[in-house]
């Protein structure tokens, strides 16, 4: 049975995406940084209301909540969200030269944050920027408020009234006035760097902003279609507008990766990401977009090249740094991956997501003590973040600290019932031989998300080891295999998925398929502790004790935890074997 790290989902999850992002066989195989791509977007100030100023004491974290379009239509609401996203991207740039770290609307959306209280729980924020947008005739009025996350006290405010026809000027004015609200002052020469480059027609830019707004809430199926329509409209107005191609590519990528839209959407993502780069090779978002496509197809070398080019243009983009780290992991270059995560931590030292990514890296390298330390830091920085406890609990599972694992996972579920905590607590119950409890936990996880192949495999494992329910295991294994094979059609260079396919086929007594798939996985990742464990499991299940012991030894040398071998019923038949006893001694 396997555990999971929260994918946040890229992106973390990998969806790095690059997401984290992020099941139970070895607990959670990789996670996506909970970071998002902040695509840079690009009228007259008539008045403002100043409430107060706060003094900078230390580096603070500020969440930027989407501007609420009160009583407006969907298009205006999307404009408000998109404007917030593009303004936040500018503020992220500013955050590298003052005392503020900015959490963008994209980051917030990925974690389901909609209020100041939720932002504080999820991201440990000190400040929240809120706002309202109202469109009347040819004018737009925006009210911005800087709020203390803990006390909900309003610290400062601005009111901006602008012409609705100048989308570039609208963004620049909002950025200027929001910068005036911040605790630290930005020098005039630094402010000039945040002025939008007017690289397209205003109508195209407005459609682009609206599309970004729709994409912020892509979990609503109609919104991703609306986003695509807006980006395509921007391209109709300006066929050379690279940011719109990059955003369109990202929309199709999200549809493919997050909403299971199918290979056609992946192909459209590739087409538009390539068009973004060919239209403007100096656009960082275009390179990141194409890097995601390469990563998703298993071309990790190409992904590294694109992510590095994006970082040459935008060196402090923590999302791209996270994606680069995941690509290096796939290329079995852990030192480079670790360096990328540590650079991301230097960019945002108080943001829990980068520590979560580093923890997942250590986890994938079987450095569980270091992984636990990184995940504990997540719980320190964001003590009400359920994902930190889920990942920490999963790591304790691999350390054989089952009581600590259950305590952390129950805390995660108390904060918010979530798929990964149920998955990991199911894995812990499995290790304790409480198979009924394990099956029930996995079913709870599947109720929240039935698209995870490893959870179907985990359910099969729990059912298999209950003699009275063993006949129910086969359909679960077959469901897991079907979902994994669908993923492998897009990315055949995924040794972890291949390893699971081999294991589940072994459980179904499909010997030929299991061995062939296993050999492919081992050829791709000959030193991966998880894949080495898979080899031991497959040979053990198929009755080859000699090879099972050979691969177990290799897995243990690579760092696979003894407890997860000793406590797995699949190896019970080896308990009396002296070689096996020596291997797991001291676990």
Q: Return the top range by mean pLDDT from 178-182, 296-300, 403-407.
A: 403-407
Q: What is the pLDDT of residue 192?
A: 61
Instruction: Give the whole-angstrom CA distance, residue 78 versus residue 69.
Output: 8
pLDDT single digits (tens) 93-107:
665 545 677 887 767
On the 0-12 / 13-18 / 19+ scale of CB atoms within 10 A, 395 is buried
CB of 238 closer than 8 Å to CB of 252:
no
CATH code at 515? 1.25.40
Question: What letter would DSSP give residue 17?
Answer: B
Q: Answer whether residue 182 is part of any domain.
A: yes
Instruction: Give the whole-angstrom CA distance, residue 438 versus residue 423.
Output: 9
Does residue 226 sit in the same domain as residue 152? no
Nearest to 292 by CA among 258, 343, 261: 258
- Last residue of one domain, picked from the residues 151, 168, 198: 198
Does residue 404 sit in the same domain as residue 518? no
Under the banding of pLDDT at 50, 70 and 90, the label for residue 290 is very high
Q: Answer whether residue 451 is part of any domain.
A: no
Average pLDDT over residues 182-211: 75
On the 0-12 / 13-18 / 19+ scale of CB atoms within 10 A, 336 is middle
All residues at 6 or more sequence positions from 566 whose CB lies less than 8 Å from its CB, including other chains = 584, 587
Q: What is the pLDDT of residue 54?
A: 36
Q: What is the pLDDT of residue 6?
A: 58
CB of 490 closer than 8 Å to CB of 269:
no
Q: Answer whether residue 39 is part of any domain.
A: no
Does residue 176 sit in the same domain as residue 236? no
Under the banding of pLDDT at 50, 70 and 90, the label for residue 51 is very low
When mean pLDDT is compared across 207-216, 295-304, 315-324, the lowest value belongs to 315-324
Instruction: Give the whole-angstrom CA distance, residue 224 versus residue 340.
Output: 31
Does residue 151 sit in the same domain as residue 234? no
Q: Answer whether residue 147 is part of any domain.
A: yes
Average pLDDT over residues 515-525: 96
For the cut 80, the answer to whether the pLDDT of residue 169 exceeds it is no
Q: What is the pLDDT of residue 191?
A: 61
Q: Answer whether residue 346 is part of any domain.
A: yes
When mean pLDDT is compared across 247-251, 363-367, 454-458, the lowest value belongs to 363-367
Does residue 245 sit in the same domain as residue 371? yes
Which domain, by its residues, includes 162?
Answer: 60-198
- Last residue of one domain, picked from the residues 349, 373, 408: 408
Q: What is the pLDDT of residue 295?
A: 92
What are the structure tokens assigned to 341, written together? 């995560």
- Last residue of one domain, picked from the residues 198, 230, 255: 198
Cα dist from 174 to 90, 116, 433, 437, whole Å: 10, 20, 58, 53
Long-range contacts from 476-482, C-beta under 8 angstroms, 24+ separation: 477/504, 477/507, 477/508, 478/508, 479/453, 480/453, 480/454, 480/455, 480/456, 480/504, 481/453, 481/505, 482/453
Average pLDDT over residues 491-500: 93
Question: What letter would DSSP give residue 15?
Answer: B
Under the banding of pLDDT at 50, 70 and 90, the label for residue 272 is very high
Q: Answer whether residue 571 is part of any domain.
A: yes
Q: What is the pLDDT of residue 43?
A: 26
For the cut 90, the answer to whether the pLDDT of residue 179 exceeds it is no
For the cut 50, the answer to whether the pLDDT of residue 292 exceeds it is yes
Does residue 249 sit in the same domain as residue 365? yes
Q: Answer whether residue 472 is part of any domain.
A: no
Does residue 267 sit in the same domain as residue 222? yes
Instruction: Give the whole-angstrom CA distance, residue 345 versus residue 106.
Output: 19
What are the structure tokens assigned to 303, written together? 């992904």
- Averaged pLDDT of the chain: 83
Q: What is the pLDDT of residue 467?
A: 95
Under the banding of pLDDT at 50, 70 and 90, the label for residue 115 is confident
Instruction: Give the whole-angstrom CA distance, residue 252 versus residue 258.
Output: 10
CATH code at 216? 1.25.40.10
Q: Answer whether residue 423 is part of any domain.
A: no
How many folded domains does the chain comprise?
3
Under the banding of pLDDT at 50, 70 and 90, the label for residue 50 is very low
pLDDT single digits (tens) 339-370:
998 988 887 787 788 898 899 889 888 899 99
For the cut 70, the answer to whether the pLDDT of residue 299 exceeds it is yes
For the cut 50, the answer to whether the pLDDT of residue 581 exceeds it is yes
Q: What is the pLDDT of residue 193?
A: 60
Does residue 142 sit in the same domain as residue 238? no
For the cut 60, the answer to whether the pLDDT of residue 311 exceeds it is yes
Does residue 146 sit in the same domain as residue 224? no
Does residue 176 sit in the same domain as residue 244? no
Does residue 175 sit in the same domain as residue 319? no
Tell how strand 139-148 and strand 60-64 pair up: unpaired
Q: What is the pLDDT of residue 587?
A: 59
Q: What is the pTM of this model?
A: 0.67
Angle between helical axes of 284-297 and 263-279 (0-180°, round to 10): 150
Higher pLDDT, 26 or 275: 275
Does residue 252 sit in the same domain as residue 191? no
Q: What is the pLDDT of residue 9?
A: 34
pLDDT single digits (tens) 68-79:
887 778 888 888
Q: What is the pLDDT of residue 583?
A: 93
């Amino acid at each position: 049975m396997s555990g999971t790290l929260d994918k946040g989902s890229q992106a973390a999850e990998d969806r790095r995406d690059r997401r984290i992002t992020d099941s139970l066989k070895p607990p959670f195989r990789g996670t996506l940084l909970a970071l998002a791509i902040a695509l840079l977007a690009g009228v007259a100030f008539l008045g403002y209301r100043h409430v107060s100023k706060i003094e900078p004491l230390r580096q603070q974290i500020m969440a930027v909540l989407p501007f609420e379009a009160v009583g407006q239509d969907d298009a205006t609401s999307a404009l408000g969200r998109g404007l917030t996203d593009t303004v936040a991207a500018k503020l992220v740039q500013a955050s590298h030269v003052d005392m503020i770290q900015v959490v963008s609307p994209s980051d917030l959306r990925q974690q389901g944050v909609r209020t100041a209280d939720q932002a504080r729980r999820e991201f440990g924020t000190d400040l929240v920027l809120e706002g309202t947008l109202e469109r009347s005739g040819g004018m737009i009025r925006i009210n911005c408020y800087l709020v203390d996350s803990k006390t909900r006290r309003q610290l400062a405010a601005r009111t901006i009234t602008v012409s609705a026809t100048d989308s570039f000027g609208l963004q620049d004015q909002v950025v200027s006035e929001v910068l005036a609200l911040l605790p630290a002052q930005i020098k005039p020469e630094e402010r000039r760097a945040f002025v939008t480059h007017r690289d397209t027609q205003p109508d195209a830019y407005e459609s682009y902003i609206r599309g970004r707004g729709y994409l912020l809430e892509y979990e609503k199926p109609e919104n991703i279609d609306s986003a695509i329509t807006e980006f395509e409209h921007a391209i109709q107005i300006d066929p050379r507008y690279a940011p719109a191609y990059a955003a369109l590519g990202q929309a199709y990528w999200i549809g493919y990766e997050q909403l299971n839209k199918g290979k056609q959407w992946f192909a459209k993502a590739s087409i538009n990401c390539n068009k973004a780069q060919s239209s403007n090779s100096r656009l960082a978002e275009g390179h990141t977009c194409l890097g995601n496509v390469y990563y998703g197809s298993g071309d990790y070398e190409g992904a590294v090249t694109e992510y590095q080019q994006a970082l040459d243009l935008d060196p402090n983009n923590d999302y791209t740094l996270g994606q680069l780290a995941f690509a290096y992991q796939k290329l079995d270059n852990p030192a480079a991956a670790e360096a990328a995560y540590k650079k991301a931590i230097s960019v945002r030292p108080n943001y829990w997501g980068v520590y979560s990514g580093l923890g997942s890296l250590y986890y994938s390298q079987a450095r569980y003590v270091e992984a636990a330390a990184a995940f504990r830091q997540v719980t320190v920085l964001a003590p009400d973040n359920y994902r930190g406890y889920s990942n920490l609990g999963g790591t304790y599972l691999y350390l054989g600290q089952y009581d600590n694992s259950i305590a952390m996972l129950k805390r995660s579920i108390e904060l918010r019932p979530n798929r990964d905590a149920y998955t990991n607590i199911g894995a812990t119950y499995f290790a304790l031989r409480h198979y009924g409890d394990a099956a029930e936990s996995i079913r709870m996880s599947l109720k929240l998300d039935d698209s995870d192949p490893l959870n179907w495999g985990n359910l099969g494992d729990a059912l298999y080891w209950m003699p009275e329910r063993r006949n129910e295991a086969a359909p679960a294994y077959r469901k897991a295999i079907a979902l994994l094979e669908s993923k492998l059609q897009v990315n055949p260079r995924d040794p972890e998925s291949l390893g699971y396919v081999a294991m589940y086929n072994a459980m179904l007594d499909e010997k030929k398929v299991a061995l062939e798939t296993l050999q492919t996985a081992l050829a791709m990742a000959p030193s991966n502790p998880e894949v080495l464990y898979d080899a031991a499991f497959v040979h053990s299940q198929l009755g080859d004790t000699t090879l099972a012991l050979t691969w177990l030894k290799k897995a243990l040398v690579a760092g696979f935890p003894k407890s997860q071998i000793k406590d797995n019923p699949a190896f019970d038949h080896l308990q009396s074997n002296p070689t096996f006893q020596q291997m797991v001694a001291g676990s």
